[in-house]
Amino acid sequence: MRYMITGAGGFIGGAIAKDLVASGHEIVTFQRGQYPHLDALGGTHVVGDLSNLDLLAESMRGCDGVFHVAALAAISGDPAEFEKANIQGTQNIITACRREKIGRLVFTSSPSVVFSGEDQNGINESTPYPDSYLADYPRTKAIAEKLVLDNCDASLFTIAIRPHLVWGPGDRHLYPRIIDRAKNGKLKLVRRPGMKIDACYIENAVSAHVLAMTQIAHNVDCRGKAYFISNDEPIAPDDLINQFLECANLQRITPSISPLLAKIAGYLIEKVYCLPFFTSEPPVTRFVVHQQATSHWFDLDNAKRDLGWLPQVSTKEGMKKFRESLESEEERVTSS
């Protein structure tokens, strides 16, 4: 089979590309820059922007399906840029699929599309989109997800995968940000007993995407639907974060900030960073604080039933693999 992956220069997209090649598939990747690790995989690699509809259509010509992973995932920024990348970019993917008669589209979404600022305790996919959002990323991802699912019909089978807090070898966002803050003494955890979150090891996220691509070709029950994906192991946030710190040989930390204080700080910092003389990303926002102060774990029964998916790598095993990959990378850097 021949598949196109957008955003293959990123963590999830790159891992999907690697998995497909290992399984004997041909790949076409579409991303904003050139990446040596993609060139090493073989296949065709296109540098472009999602706003270029003609280039998108030309790139996916002859493909059997498209994995649309690319997105603007910053915690703040110009709303118009989020809309351009996440909404118009996704609409262009759909239009290009129809132009080139591509029959299958797997969209990488996020559990944040249904996040209202409250706890997500064992919720499933029946949870509705909220009336308002705390940030432009979840707002535009929700619109994009709805576009994808509403466009499911006899000529284009679509599905949305919602992996939560993806981590593991190759992570250049979640883990590095946690470690950087810890090293600089800026990592603070919200103190709220009983809170739980569930993250997703990269191999589990990839297998869900690949299974989704296969299942929408044969299983009518999963077409036009969204699915939560995680490790199915809810734990306390500080437990997960301290496991990351142990991977970096850093000292454990304990939650110390009250939810109310965190929310006030997030609101004030976000407002201050809206002033014209601030050009960098704020260290924290309302959205980030509400995410840190609430539970996030999900009922995965629908993915297990409709996709035949199960998380194959436990958090314990994933941490072992992650630590080994970090040690291997450190040895490579030291010896070079």
List, in sequence order, the alpha helices (H) in 151-274: 174-183, 202-218, 237-247, 259-272
Which residues are tagged catalytic? 137
CB neighbour burial string for 25-34, b if at least 16 within 10 angstroms, e if fewer? bebbbbbeee
How far apart are the C-alpha atoms of 333 and 329, rounded to whole Å?
Answer: 6
How far apart are the C-alpha atoms of 312 and 111, rounded to whole Å?
Answer: 20
Kindly state the DSSP code that residue 131 receives in the 8-state scheme: S
Taking CA atoms, 278 is separated from 147, 180, 289, in Å, by 34, 21, 20
Q: Which pair of tokens denotes residue 100?
A: 């080139």
Q: Which pair of tokens denotes residue 14?
A: 């790159």
Which residues sit opposite 4 in a β-bridge?
Answer: 28, 66
